Structures are given as structure tokens and as C-alpha cells.
Structure 1
């Protein structure tokens, strides 16, 4: 019996050397697909469930959408619920996230700039302490923050929710790295020779050169505040001051006694994602995967 001839190597169409066969890494590819499904399947369920009326939410197949415009009826019912308090929650969330994100970005920029451009005693120890704050879960700080603010009468207020969000250790870390790379010391020295003060150098030179990095910090902080639940949950008691996370939770809790509210919770959850997607798409052109590369450009 003669042996089967060996298969000839695949040649490059351009006439060059044989093209090597690509090996597919099965384990990483499988993990990637499973991770994508883990993220996409719940989102797909929310999108499909929001199209169903309250009578069809539990009586039809899970991943079969409804074509009778049930989502519009759900939005109308959600708007009519308690005189449109859902949209008040939406406005509150946007206020907390936008104002808190802007103020936190400014604090992070000022702190990171100072740590990167000024030499003072204890700078390394201070930066290491701030860096350790990145490893500390924010959920651990919610109760101590509540106890501290309750001593000065700031609970159940807008400032009580905003104040703990202003200090972002990870944002300070990013701004410190970005300021060290994006703001040249020679440019600051030239400004000092021309008579510019330190505050003017920070606002006129530092903030402008740190612009792309600050957009990244703002977007991360905006999403963190938008999704924050525990801090406003322990800090607020008035329904009209709730953000979306706490408001939808209260609506879900009432749904345990009134099942028809579940469709409103699902629709509200879907609508709560829209502002975040819109913000991400509008700021996408400022997004930089490599902060240093973005600064040099």
C-alpha cells in the first residue's frame, strides 16, 4: 500500500513564500464568546421585554418580541405613574452625574497636576495613599459617609449625594499620569519667565493640554455616578430626590404587591441606558485608548 501524498503548502497568491496556516486559539475564543453572551443576553432581554404589554410580559416566550407597539403604552404608563415622577428621577440622575462628573474631573485634574508638576514633602506618600483608595470598594464607604454627613445635616439633600463623589482616586491617578506626560515642564518654565502665576499656568496651559484625558475621566465618573445605587439609597429619603437607580428599585419593590408595575420597571431600565449611550457616542471622538498618544497628538 502506498502512502498518501503530503498536502502541498498553500502558496501566496502574489507568488511569494507559502502562507502559514493560522491556528485558532480555542480556549480564548470560547471565553470571549461566553463573555460577549454574558453581556449581550441580559441587554437583549430588556430590549425585548420592553416591547411587551403588562399582560404579555409573563405570558409569552422570553425572547420573542411583541409587535403591537406595547413599548409606547409602557412609556405612556410610566409617564403617568405618580404624575411623571420617573422623568424627575431621570433629571435627578442627569444632574448628579453631570455636575458630579464635572466637579470630580476638575478636582482630579487639579490634584493630578499638583502631584505631577510640584515637588513637595510627602508627595510620594500622598500619591500612594490615593492609589490605595482605588483598591477600596466604594460600597464600604457609603455608611461612614452617611454618618459623617448626618452630623452636619446634609442627608436627604442634593449636596449630600454630590459631595462624596467629588474625590475620585482613580481619576486622580489618571490625571497625574496624563499631566506628567502631556504638560511639558519647559512650557511651564517659559510661562513663569513671562510672569504667569501658577493658577494661570494651570487654567491656561495645564487644563488645555490635559483635555483628552479629562474627557476620559469625566465619562468614567459620569457612568459611575449614573449607576451608583447604595450612596443615594442610604443618603436620601424623599422620592422626588431619588436618582434612577433608587427610583427604579422602589418601583420594583412596589411591584411585589402589584405585578403590573414590572413592565414599567423594564421600560424604565431601558430608557435609563439611552442617556449613557448618547453621551458615549457624542464623546467618542475625544476617547483615547492610549492617553499618552492622545496627548502628543
Structure 2
């Protein structure tokens, strides 16, 4: 006599539990459609100008004004236009590109570090006048950069720093918004027990900040870095006030200099559109590369 094995019956509820949590609760099809439509509209709002710049950079000056702005001309002139951009005036665009990389890269990196250090200190250390310091810094968020450009120019002129790299770089090292964000994020994510455990193990305060604080603050740091990078890269008014030597110009000021000459020399349209296309490539790469740190940093320093 042989025993017959019975196959266990799997109920629909059990299959649902084994497949993972049900994330559809509370969602309606209409809400999903509305949210998706809004996201599509926002995406188009940001992508259409980029698409126009790419299309415009493939055209000659005559095609730029005689063809549809959102479609390509019969003659594809992208590589010729980019070649003129990088070779014009002995490669001055390359110098502008390098200047922008220095201003934005170094400025954003140091500004992010200073904002993280200040925000961490204001969040995790108790000292007299802490709230007053934070309120004063928070007031800096309300002051536009254009309001401080002229006083900074007068100050840097007296110090002999006007028309130098320092006149654009030094103001970029301060980020009141970044410090505010880091302070709020540190209060919510940096657990005091982690800091106390590190102190018991003999770690110093700087080591705790660099090994625990910076890791936990990764999503906030990426946000501050990208905001500073984009803000400094696209900054126009401060370099306009501070710089008079074209060798020190960032891309924004250089491209505006080319654009101001289109009435006299229409071929500068080709140089300007090609230069704008090249100028957005670093920001796009930075966004694509750094976005993974937003998710990866959310679990850093988690306490069981």
C-alpha cells in the first residue's frame, strides 16, 4: 500500500502575502492618471527647452530663422557648429568652461562641507545662543544674491581681490539654505545614541562627524551640492560685477558676451546655441550620477 502525497492548497490570500505587501490600497485609478499627467507636464516643461537647444545647435544661422524651431533643418550642422565653438578666439570657450568648473565644482564642494559641519553642530551640540545663530543664518536665505553683489565688490576692491578667481569663488562658499537643510536633516536622522557610542569607544568629535555624521547626511549633502553646483554654474550677476578680464569669465558671462554681438555678426547665433548645448552637459551628468545617493543614503547610520 502506497501513501499518496497531498498537494497543499494555496489560497489567494496566501499567494498575495508571499508576493509581498499590497501597495495598491488607497489608490484610485483616477488619482494615478492625474498624478502621471502632472508629472508628464512637469517633465515636458523641463525637457522641451533642452530639446529646442539641441535642435537649434544643429542649424546654421539662416536655417535657424527659416525653419521650424522644433524640427531639424535639411542640413545637419551640429559638428561644424561645435567645432567653431571650441576653436573660436583661440579656444576661449574652453577657458570659460574650465573657469565654470572651478567656480562651481570647488565652490559647491566646499559650501556643502561647511553647510554640513555647521548644520551638524547646530543640531547635535547644546551651546548658548544656538537658536540666535541659527535664526541669523536663516535670515540669510531671505537675502537675494543680487543685493550683496555690490557691497562684496566694494569690499573685494579694497582687499585687492576684485577681478580674480577669489572674487567669485569666496561668495560661493556660503550656503544659508544648505546649512538650514543640514541642520533639519541632522536633527531628524543623526541618532544621539550613535554619537554617544562613538564617544565611549574613544572617537573624537571630528572623527564622529566624518565617519557617522557625513554618512547619515548623504541625501542632504547631495541635495545641497546639486543646488550649489547649478546655482554657481548658472550665476551671471556676480561674475558680471566682479570680473572685467574675459580670461576669468565663466560660461554664462562668456555666452552673453557672444550673444551681444549677434546684431553685428549673425554667425554668433551658431556659437551661442552650440555653447549653450555644451554648457548643460556637465549639469546633466551630475544629476544622473548623483541621484543614486539619495536612495542609498537613506539607510546610512540606521539604528536597530
Q: Specify the TM-score bucket, using the shorter chain as the normaliser.
A: 0.7 to 0.9
Check the 8 A contact 2:215/2:301 in 1, yes or no. Answer: no
Aligned residue for 1:180? 187
**CA 121–83 in structure 1, closer or farther in 2 if over 3 Å, else same:** same
Q: Where does residue 271 of structure 2 map in the other structure?
A: 264
Instruction: Quote the Cα distance in structure 1 between the aligned partners of 2:66 and 2:253.
Output: 28
CA offset digits 1:139-196 (Å, max 9, x no partner): 2221122122111011111111110011101100111112222222122222223333
Give 1:129 deviation, angstroms: 1.8
- Compare 135-144 and 269-278 and name the one that shifted more: 135-144
Deviation at 1:247, TM superposition (A): 0.6
- Report if the CA contact (8 A) 1:50-1:263 is conserved: yes
Task: Tell me the equivalent position of 1:122.
Answer: 129
CA distance in 1, matches of 2:283, 2:39: 24
State whether residues 216 and 298 of structure 2, in contact with CA within 8 Å, keep that contact through their aligned partners in structure 1. no
SS in 2 for 1:57: helix
Larger mean CA deviation between 107-116 and 173-182 belongs to: 173-182
1:164-175 mapped onto 2 (5 Å cutoff): 164-175=171-182
Asked if 1:83 is matched to 2:82, the reply is: no
Query: Quick one: which of 249, 254, 259 aligns to 1:247?
Result: 254
| Inter-CA distance 42–196: structure 2 relative to 1 (3 Å threshold) | closer
What is the distance in 2 between the residues matched to 1:206 and 1:110? 9
How far residue 34 of structure 1 moved from its aligned partner, in angstroms, is 6.2
- Assess if the C-alpha contact under 8 Å between 2:96 and 2:249 holds in 1: yes
Cα distance, 1:254 vs. partner? Answer: 1.9
1:223 CA displacement: 0.9
Q: Is the 8 A contact 2:212 2:301 kept in 1?
A: no
Task: Name the counterpart of 2:233.
Answer: 226
Q: Which runs of 5+ in 1 are unaligned?
A: 1-19
1:203 aligns with 2:210: yes
Q: 1:246 to 1:295 in 2, by over 3 A?
A: farther
- Say whether 1:48 aligns with 2:66: no
1:296–1:256 distance in 2 versus 1, CA, 3 Å: farther
Q: CA deviation at 1:67?
A: 4.4
Structure 2 counterpart of 1:142, from 121, 146, 149: 149
CA distance in 1, matches of 2:97, 2:280: 11
Match of 2:224 among 201, 209, 217: 217
How many aligned residue pairs are there?
277
SS at match of 2:89: helix
Q: Could you say if the C-alpha distance between residues 198 and 65 of structure 1 is closer, same or farther in structure 2, counting changes exceeding 3 Å?
A: same
1:200 shift after superposition? 2.2
- CA gap 1:27/1:139 in 2 versus in 1, 3 angstroms: farther
Alignment partners' CA distance in 2, 1:107 and 1:178: 15
CA distance in 2, matches of 1:156, 1:51: 35
Partner of residue 21, structure 2: none
Cα pair 1:178 1:292 within 8 Å, conserved: no
RMSD over equivalenced CA pairs, Å? 2.6
Q: Which runs of 5+ in 2 are unaligned?
A: 1-26
Provide the rounded CA distance (Å) in 2 between the counterparts of 1:212 and 1:33: 25
